[in-house]
């Protein structure tokens, strides 16, 4: 009897304890969405007090069981969004609510607790430190791209870049779903002005080095996808430095909604690299001036309609009167000296106008139809008459190796117009994101070019003939071109989970997440009558055994649709000695078949977030149009003559090397080869065959303060192949020296407002940059001197030396 009574009391006590424990627990359920009511997957839902955390599923849903208390604090965090915090007062039972995450303001300081997972071939880059980074060109976005794995550049004065063995022209750039263009006649970094991307107006940067989706255009190497920001409040900033300045203002009309109905942004930029060009070996009067204005206007009259307008006007002038130059080159035991005295001048103008307008209709929360129209106009002029009298000496023996005169002349004029109309449809289902578009483009180009170069060595014209006077180079071209392109694509992004029901949010840790993107792109060009079809596929897997690992594979057939430069086929007229230009109307698109395998691993070290990325790739190239590169000018053969391949591996370690800052280091290995289609010709390197490269971007604070910030950029990369002029690309038997450069910048936060009330002073930054910290003489290209003995001497053209740049940034 006593035993039964004791047993009854024990069971009763256990029941009461269990009931109390259940009463102290509660279940929190809900859904996380963005401002457009789209589900946000893989958001971290955490309660730090109770050390519990779950992640939202593919529908943005979550469920977490917590212990009740007087107050329970729950955080919702995801990179790219502002962290939301909900405080629950004595919660009981089951609570359900919807949490809306708002995009992170690019101007605010943030503490990173979770980084956006990359589930496609496009990586989202962080932009919060762009203004404090040392810059040579003033084009902060492109300089950020140049530091990524698989990207190379050998000219700090240029914003152009090569990606995995591709040329400058193989990189697509989009702003708000519209492809943008660069000037066509630019041949040197000194001539380059401001790029079309205004970094003050940028909200998001997506960048892909290969295997990108079908929605991106007909380029073989990379995609840079820019999204301009809609201001959430009135804001402004001013920047001034020895290399130029900028002003930006953003306005958001007062609204009762979280997203303003009407916003507009205006940006003005001015650049002059006169101070920078003063460090070149060629002295003279440099007068470059580059001016740019952009605007972005967005209006949402209702939840169903939205209208966006982007406008850009750019005026770039480059005026130069050279005086003299003295270059020493060779080895310590064999030093050569090259002296030139100049006469003449160069005057270049690049005037560009670009505009887009779009109207979107939203049918519910799942379907959007958008119509976009764009127009691009460029008027370019490159004119110069420069004469140089040179001496090439051996400094050891005082022997005069070459004496002569050269004369360079150019009258190049080009006008280009590109208009387009694009219709887009996007439809979202529970697991699918379907997108389709059709584009019609009109292209009109007018060109008139006349160039020649005369060389006279020791009284003999080169090349020397007994019966006539020949110039070493003469070109004549006069063309008008008009064509039409029809482009379209259809793609779907399918997300699902296995290892449990995707709808069940309680066991998300045991699930494997999949993201499959597949699509088809087509294009037809009226000029050549060519039609191309491009299938593309990518798959990302987040395995159940470790949600910090993402495995990615991608493949696809990519075409490089020819533009005007690729069409120009040059032929030497033996009777007149003039190189004549014809436009090849039988040219085909260059073709590249991509195979990519990648792995991302997120981890924490010393309580700080890091991400390691490794990508291996192979690209089979066919229908290649060979080309030569001199400085940043790309000259094509105008015919499909070659095939080849590019293979390599890219590694990147990204994270908080120092608490509260972002740094990264990249290492790349690559081999890029090509060969002529005819016969069994041996392979030879592509002009962009950079076999290895290391880049470092390191940010730190001075000890004991967060007001002093230091940014260090290092580049150490293999030199590119080159050869004597007029010898053919297969004779590129030499390789330029290794490119080595270090830039360091220090920024001091002189003033920081304790709060923000309307358009008030927010912060003042004082900056000091040391460009080319170690004063290394990097080689950009070569000038070839030929004497009467037909010997050729490669005289290096060095880039900029060490320079100091001061900078002031005021934010409102």
* 701/709 Cα distance (integer angstroms): 5
Contact assessment for residue 405 and residue 389, using Cβ atoms and an 8 Å cutoff: yes
Residue 350 phi, psi (nearest 5): -130, 110
Residue 464, pLDDT score: 56
Contact assessment for residue 731 and residue 717, using Cβ atoms and an 8 Å cutoff: no
Region of poorest pLDDT, from 149-163, 284-298, 386-400 = 386-400
Helix (H) or strand (E) holding 16: helix 2-24
Which residue in 419, 421, 344, 351 sits closest to 380, CA to CA? 351
Enter the DSSP assignment of 126. Answer: P
Contact assessment for residue 443 and residue 481, using Cβ atoms and an 8 Å cutoff: yes
Residues sharing a CB contact under 8 Å with residue 427, sequence separation 6 or more, in sequence order: 366, 367, 368, 433, 434, 435
Residue 19, pLDDT score: 46
Residue 457, pLDDT score: 65
Read off the pLDDT band of 564 (50, 70, 90): confident
Which residue in 75, 70, 72, 67 sits closest to 88, CA to CA? 72
Identify the bridge partners of residue 620 per DSSP, sorted by sequence position.
593, 645
Mean predicted confidence (pLDDT) in 220-242? 91
Helix (H) or strand (E) holding 9: helix 2-24
Read off the pLDDT band of 489 (50, 70, 90): very high
Read off the pLDDT band of 111 (50, 70, 90): very low
Residue 33 phi, psi (nearest 5): -130, 165
The more confidently predicted of residues 259 and 682 is: 682
Does pLDDT of 11 surpass 60?
no
Region of poorest pLDDT, from 7-21, 151-165, 638-652 = 7-21
How many whole angstroms from its chain centre is CA 320? 30
Enter the DSSP assignment of 117. Answer: -
Residue 247, pLDDT score: 94
Contact assessment for residue 443 and residue 484, using Cβ atoms and an 8 Å cutoff: yes
Residues sharing a CB contact under 8 Å with residue 46, sequence separation 6 or more, in sequence order: 52, 53, 54, 74, 75, 77
Read off the pLDDT band of 172 (50, 70, 90): very high
- Percent of the chain past pLDDT 90, that is, above it, reads 41
Residue 791 phi, psi (nearest 5): -80, 140
Residue 17, pLDDT score: 44
C-alpha angle with apex 138: 760 to 218, nearest 5 degrees?
Answer: 115
Q: Model confidence over 12-70: pLDDT tens digits?
A: 555 444 444 444 788 888 889 887 677 888 888 888 878 788 888 877 888 888 888 88
Mean predicted confidence (pLDDT) in 662-685? 89
* 643/622 Cα distance (integer angstroms): 4
C-alpha angle with apex 490: 487 to 494, nearest 5 degrees?
Answer: 155
Q: Which long-range contacts (CB under 8 A, 24 or more apart) does 102-105 make?
A: 102/34, 102/35, 102/232, 102/258, 103/34, 103/35, 103/203, 104/79, 104/80, 105/232
- The pTM assigned to this predicted structure is 0.84
Give the range with max mean pLDDT: 95-109, 119-133, 232-246: 232-246
How many whole angstroms from its chain centre is CA 325? 35
Residue 98 phi, psi (nearest 5): -105, 130
Helix (H) or strand (E) holding 8: helix 2-24
DSSP per position, 519-560: EEEEEEETTT--EEEEEEEEEEEE-TT-TTEEEEEEEEEEEE
Residue 504, pLDDT score: 47
Residues in the chain: 812
* 288/271 Cα distance (integer angstroms): 8
Question: Is the preceding peptide bond at 645 cis, omega within 30 degrees of 0?
Answer: no
Mean predicted confidence (pLDDT) in 166-187? 87
Two tokens, residue 746? 């220090």
Q: Model confidence over 152-161: pLDDT tens digits?
A: 888 888 888 9
Contact assessment for residue 348 and residue 383, using Cβ atoms and an 8 Å cutoff: yes
The more confidently predicted of residues 267 and 132 is: 267
Region of poorest pLDDT, from 13-17, 235-239, 569-573 = 13-17
Mean predicted confidence (pLDDT) in 78-105? 81
Residue 266, pLDDT score: 95
Q: Model confidence over 349-364: pLDDT tens digits?
A: 999 999 999 999 998 8
Q: Model confidence over 730-775: pLDDT tens digits?
A: 777 888 899 999 999 999 989 888 766 666 888 899 999 999 999 8
Does pLDDT of 713 surpass 70?
yes
Mean predicted confidence (pLDDT) in 66-81? 83
Mean predicted confidence (pLDDT) in 430-448? 93
Region of poorest pLDDT, from 22-26, 514-518, 558-562 = 22-26
- Average pLDDT of the chain, as a whole number: 85
Identify the bridge partners of residue 591 per DSSP, sorted by sequence position.
559, 622
Pair type for strands 579-583 and 151-152? unpaired
Mean predicted confidence (pLDDT) in 624-643? 86
> Could you tell me the CA-to-CA distances from 807 to 133, 201, 499 in Å, in that order?
11, 19, 55
Contact assessment for residue 536 and residue 213, using Cβ atoms and an 8 Å cutoff: yes
**Residue showing tokens 């916003």:** 263
Read off the pLDDT band of 486 (50, 70, 90): very high
* 524/153 Cα distance (integer angstroms): 32
The more confidently predicted of residues 416 and 58 is: 416
* 564/382 Cα distance (integer angstroms): 17
Read off the pLDDT band of 634 (50, 70, 90): confident
> What 3 state SS string does 741-806 have?
EEEEEEEEEEEECCCCCCCCCCEEEEEEEEECCCCCCCEEEEEEEECCCCCEEEEEEECCCCEEEE
Residue 659, pLDDT score: 85
Mean predicted confidence (pLDDT) in 614-631? 91
Does pLDDT of 598 surpass 90?
yes
Residue 764 phi, psi (nearest 5): -130, 125
Residue 576, pLDDT score: 64
Contact assessment for residue 68 and residue 24, using Cβ atoms and an 8 Å cutoff: yes
Residue 674, pLDDT score: 92
Helix (H) or strand (E) holding 12: helix 2-24
Residue 115, pLDDT score: 56
Enter the DSSP assignment of 680. Answer: T
Enter the DSSP assignment of 255. Answer: -
Mean predicted confidence (pLDDT) in 165-179? 91
Mean predicted confidence (pLDDT) in 124-146? 84
Q: How many CA atoms lie within 13 A of 318 on its CB side?
A: 22
* 184/169 Cα distance (integer angstroms): 10
Q: Model confidence over 776-795: pLDDT tens digits?
A: 988 888 888 776 566 778 88
Two tokens, residue 736? 């330029």
DSSP per position, 234-245: -EEEEEEETTEE
- Number of neighbours of residue 435 by Cβ within 10 angstroms: 19
Mean predicted confidence (pLDDT) in 678-707? 88
Helix (H) or strand (E) holding 433: strand 432-457
Per DSSP, helices labelled H in 25-91 are none
Residue 573 phi, psi (nearest 5): -80, 110
Pair type for strands 512-525 and 739-752? unpaired
Q: What is the maximum alpha-carbon separation in the chain? A: 134
Residue 466, pLDDT score: 58
- Percent of the chain past pLDDT 70, that is, above it, reads 90
DSSP per position, 490-508: EEEEEEEEESS-TT-GGGG
């Amino acid at each position: 009897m006593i035993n039964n009574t004791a047993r009854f009391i024990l069971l009763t006590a256990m029941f009461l304890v269990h009931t109390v424990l259940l009463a102290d627990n509660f279940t929190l359920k809900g859904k996380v969405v963005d401002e457009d009511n789209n589900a946000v997957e893989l958001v971290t839902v955490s309660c730090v007090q109770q050390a519990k955390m779950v992640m939202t599923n593919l529908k943005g849903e979550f469920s977490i069981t917590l212990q009740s208390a007087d107050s329970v604090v729950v955080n919702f965090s995801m990179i790219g969004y502002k962290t939301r915090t909900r405080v629950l007062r004595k919660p009981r039972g089951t609570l359900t609510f919807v949490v809306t995450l708002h995009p992170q303001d690019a101007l605010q300081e943030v503490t990173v607790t979770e980084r956006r997972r990359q589930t496609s071939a496009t990586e989202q880059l962080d932009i919060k430190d762009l203004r404090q980074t040392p810059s040579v060109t003033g084009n902060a976005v492109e300089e950020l791209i140049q530091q990524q794995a698989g990207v190379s550049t050998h000219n700090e004065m240029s914003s152009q870049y090569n990606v995995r063995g591709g040329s400058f022209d193989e990189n697509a750039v989009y702003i708000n779903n519209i492809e943008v263009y660069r000037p066509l006649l630019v041949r040197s970094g000194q001539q380059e002005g401001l790029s079309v991307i205004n970094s003050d107006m940028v909200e998001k940067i997506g960048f892909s080095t290969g295997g990108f989706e079908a929605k991106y255009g007909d380029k073989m190497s990379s995609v840079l996808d820019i999204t301009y920001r809609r201001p959430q409040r009135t804001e402004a900033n001013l920047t001034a430095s020895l290399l130029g300045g900028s002003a930006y203002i953003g306005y958001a009309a007062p609204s009762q909604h979280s997203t303003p109905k009407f916003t507009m942004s205006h940006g003005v930029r001015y650049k002059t690299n006169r101070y920078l060009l003063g460090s070149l070996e060629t002295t003279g009067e440099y007068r470059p001036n580059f001016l740019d204005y952009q605007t972005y206007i967005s209006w949402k009259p209702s939840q169903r309609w939205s209208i966006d307008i982007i406008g850009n006007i750019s005026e770039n002038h480059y005026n130069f009167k050279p005086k003299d130059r003295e270059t020493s080159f060779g080895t310590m035991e064999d030093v050569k000296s090259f002296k030139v005295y100049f006469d003449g001048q160069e005057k270049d103008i690049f005037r560009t106008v670009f505009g887009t307008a779009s109207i979107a209709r939203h049918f519910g929360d799942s379907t959007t139809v958008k119509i976009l129209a764009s127009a691009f106009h460029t008027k370019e002029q490159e004119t110069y008459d420069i004469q140089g009298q040179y001496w090439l000496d051996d400094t050891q023996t005082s022997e005069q190796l070459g004496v002569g005169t050269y004369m360079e002349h150019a009258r190049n004029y080009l006008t280009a117009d590109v208009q387009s109309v694009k219709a887009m449809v996007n439809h979202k289902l529970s697991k699918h994101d379907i997108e389709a578009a059709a584009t019609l483009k009109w292209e009109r180009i007018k060109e008139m070019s006349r160039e020649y170069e005369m060389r006279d060595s020791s009284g003999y014209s080169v090349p020397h003939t007994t019966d006539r006077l020949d110039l070493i180079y003469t070109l004549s071209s006069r063309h008008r071109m008009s064509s039409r392109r029809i482009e379209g694509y259809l793609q779907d992004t399918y997300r699902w989970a296995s290892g449990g029901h995707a709808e069940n949010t309680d066991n998300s840790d045991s699930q494997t997440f999949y993201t499959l993107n597949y699509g088809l792109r087509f294009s037809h060009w009226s000029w050549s009558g060519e039609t191309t079809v491009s299938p593309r596929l990518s798959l990302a897997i987040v395995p159940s055994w470790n949600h910090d690992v993402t495995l990615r594979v991608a493949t696809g057939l990519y075409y490089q649709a020819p533009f005007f430069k690729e069409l120009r086929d040059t032929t030497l007229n033996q009777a007149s000695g003039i190189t004549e230009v014809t436009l090849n109307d039988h040219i085909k698109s260059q073709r590249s078949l991509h195979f990519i395998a990648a792995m991302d691993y997120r981890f924490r070290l010393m309580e700080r977030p890091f991400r390691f990325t490794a990508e291996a790739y192979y690209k089979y190239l066919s229908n290649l149009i060979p080309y030569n590169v001199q400085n940043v000018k790309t000259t094509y053969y105008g015919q499909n003559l070659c095939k080849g391949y590019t293979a390599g591996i890219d590694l990147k370690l990204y994270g908080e090397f120092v608490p509260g800052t972002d740094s990264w280091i990249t290492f790349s290995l690559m081999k890029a080869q090509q060969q002529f289609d005819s016969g069994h010709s041996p392979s030879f390197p592509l002009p962009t065959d950079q076999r290895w490269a290391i880049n470092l971007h390191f940010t730190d604070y001075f000890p004991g303060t967060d007001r002093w910030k230091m940014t260090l950029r290092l580049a150490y990369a293999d030199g590119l192949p080159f050869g004597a002029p007029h010898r053919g690309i297969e004779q590129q038997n030499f390789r330029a020296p290794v490119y080595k450069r270090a830039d360091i910048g220090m920024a001091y936060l002189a003033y920081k407002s304790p709060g923000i009330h309307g358009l008030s002073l927010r912060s003042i930054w004082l900056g000091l940059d040391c460009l080319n910290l170690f004063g290394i003489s990097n080689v950009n290209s070569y000038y070839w001197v030929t004497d009467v003995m037909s010997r050729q001497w490669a005289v290096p053209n060095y880039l900029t030396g060490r320079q100091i740049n001061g900078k002031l940034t005021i934010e409102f």
